[in-house]
Structure 1
């Protein structure tokens, strides 16, 4: 089953209240409203695109080790996925799909990282629960996400809903700002140029891991040339 098919099946169960979910219709409508407004805002058009250079960054992994984009790119092409957090089932299913695809990515010389605003404790939990062998780097205050054009602030009514659901982003992230990154995935060549970019303000929609392979094959060919 494709990643999107899995996401669609989960969404159908969640939104129709199929056990074990018992979500009031008003909650679903509020989430849909927030997604529609983010799409309509055009925020995704501000994100970095193929052909542009990524900003240099240095972030900590779940064990506190600093990881720099320069060091990663020195090793080969880089796949970056922006991850909202351990609380997001759609995000976790995407990480699991990327883990399954990791051998293909590595065969093309690529490294894979996730970047998330959540604190290291929650990143360790994500790695453990999703059985990941690639790192999740902590992006305090979504500053790297902002540099990629992905950071957005939750509207007040969605903040109140999250609070009612005990989805306390300030606690997850160690940051009181109530911001998130739009889900996004990038393939970056060794010179820092984006070869593939997919950004979607609808968090229930994610590209397939296989969609990146043509860009990675081009990158591998350029490295070998």
Structure 2
């Protein structure tokens, strides 16, 4: 059982990733006004990921206005990540690639082995996390399949509620 995972109100696992623009991106170096939204996706082979990231791409400006920086990350190699960016309508979301399995496990992501030639041999299943500027996990959602992800459009108005209410992170209890 994976006991190392991203738990609300704890420090986020390290995430150091390559971006398609040639930069290296590190979660601990981010300084968002409110949150960093980290969206883990399965990769180029996933048509549901395509739709999800295209919706996310359409919300990036609104999320940025609310103080949320956005990155999407996969285990895909660079060539597949570039193809995703070119073939999908993704021009605003930062795309990170070549996440290793150890990092995925630290985030509590499910890992799957390929069942078709279009898939990479090993890839992570989806996850979405909100991380505070102090690198503390605020929200965590993981899925074992490409469906059942959070409704992205709900996050834009939610940010005002969270700022105004001071609603705490939930799900912090790790033992009973």
Q: TM-score range by the shorter chain?
A: 0.7 to 0.9
Mapped pair 1:167 → 2:118: yes
| Change in 2 beyond 3 A, CA 1:220/1:106 | farther
Give yes or no for the alignment of 1:202 onto 2:145.
yes
Number of matched residues?
A: 163
- Residues in 2 aligned to 1:104 and 1:188: alpha-carbon distance in whole angstroms: 18
Structure 1: give runs of 5+ residues left out of the alignment: 1-41, 170-177
Q: Contact between 1:151 and 1:179, CA under 8 Å: does it hold in 2?
A: no
Query: Which residue of structure 1 lines up, in the alignment, with residue 105 of structure 2?
Result: 146
Distance 2:29 2:157 in 1: 24
Q: Of 43, 50, 54, which aligns to 1:92?
A: 50
CA–CA distance in structure 1, aligned partners of residues 29 and 93 of structure 2: 15
Select which of 21, 28, 48 maps to 1:63: 21
TM-score by length of 1: 0.64
Q: How does 1:123-142 map to 2 (within 5 A)?
A: 123-132=81-90, 133-142=92-101
Q: 1:168 to 1:188 in 2, by over 3 A?
A: closer
1:188 Cα offset (Å): 0.9
TM norm structure 2 = 0.79
Consecutive unaligned residues of structure 2, counting only runs of 5 or more, are 167-176
Contact 1:141 1:179 in 2 (8 A): no
Larger radius of gyration, structure 1 or 2? 1
CA offset digits 1:66-112 (Å, max 9, x no partner): 1111222x233200000111110011111011111112211111110
Contact in 1 for aligned 2:81/2:97 (Cα 8 Å): yes
SS in 2 for 1:75: coil
Which has more helix, going by share of residues?
Answer: 1
Give the SS at the match of 1:59. strand
Which structure dedicates a bigger proportion of its chain to strand? 2
- Quote the RMSD (CA, aligned, Å): 2.5
Name the structure 2 match of 1:105.
Answer: 63
